[in-house]
Amino acid sequence: MNETVVLTPERILEVAEDVLRRFGLAKATVVDVARALDVSHGSVYRHFPSKVSLREAVAKRWLERVNAPLAKIAEGSGPASARLERWLRTMFAIKHKKVCDDPEMFATYLALAHEACKVVKAHKDGLVDQIAHILSDGVKQGAFQVADVKTSARALFDATIRFHHPAHSEDWSDPALAARIDALLALLLRGLEAPRKR
């Protein structure tokens, strides 16, 4: 009846994330994870071929939680301009929230992201695709004028990196941050705008 004694990859990931939170990236070991699960570390190696792959899976799970709400916005309907702004602001808010709520865990994630850079790259590519999807809608609606949707999506991702890349989380204490975001978004949206009909 007690299903929680079954050792599943999902359960290992849960506990592994918790161990990472408590010990930090440098000190968290596979043995620690096994101890927390009350099994031998050999059992963990039955489900994950290496420590690296376990950590990559944790990073993937983490990034999926960032991705889900953004995908919902990207897939939505309505004016692309407002949708793009909402999508970008939501991304900033998610990253900002993660830093402020649990700075220690974020530092751990930051280091983990550096290790699992392949997983992070896939995540980024997914986000650029979401921007491209919104841009594509905007072009259809006649609101945006861009040379190439894919390239412009990448440019938007690059242009906003200051407000969503973890490496810049140090200076998220600037009181004028909201104003800086407003100014940047205004500049970018104006740059995308299709010329008015006369």
Partner DNA sequence: TGAATGACAGATATTGAAATCTGTCAGCAA
Partner DNA sequence: TTGCTGACAGATTTCAATATCTGTCATTCA
Residues of this chain that bind DNA (CB under 7 A): 6-7, 26-27, 29-32, 39-43, 45-46, 49-52
How many Cβ atoms are within 10 Å of 168's Cβ, its own excluded? 12
| Region 117-156 residues binding a second copy, contact defined as CB under 8 A | 147-148, 151-152, 154-156
186 contributes a contact to a second copy by CB under 8 A? yes
Q: CB of residue 181 vs a second copy: minimum separation in angstroms?
A: 9
180 binds, among DNA, a second copy, none (CB under 5 to 8 A by kind): a second copy
194 contributes a contact to a second copy by CB under 8 A? no
Residue 120 CA: distances (Å) to CA of 31, 63, 147, 168, 185: 26, 8, 27, 16, 24
88 contributes a contact to a second copy by CB under 8 A? no
Four-CA torsion 146, 147, 151, 154, nearest 10 degrees = -20
Contacting residue, 122, 161, 178, 194, with a second copy by CB under 8 A: 161
197 contributes a contact to a second copy by CB under 8 A? no
192 binds, among a second copy, DNA, none (CB under 5 to 8 A by kind): a second copy
Question: Which CB, 85 or 115, lies closer to DNA?
Answer: 115
Sign of CA dihedral 141, 146, 152, 156: negative
87 contributes a contact to a second copy by CB under 8 A? no
Strand partners, 193: 144
31 binds, among a second copy, DNA, none (CB under 5 to 8 A by kind): DNA
Question: Which CB, 1 or 6, lies closer to DNA?
Answer: 6
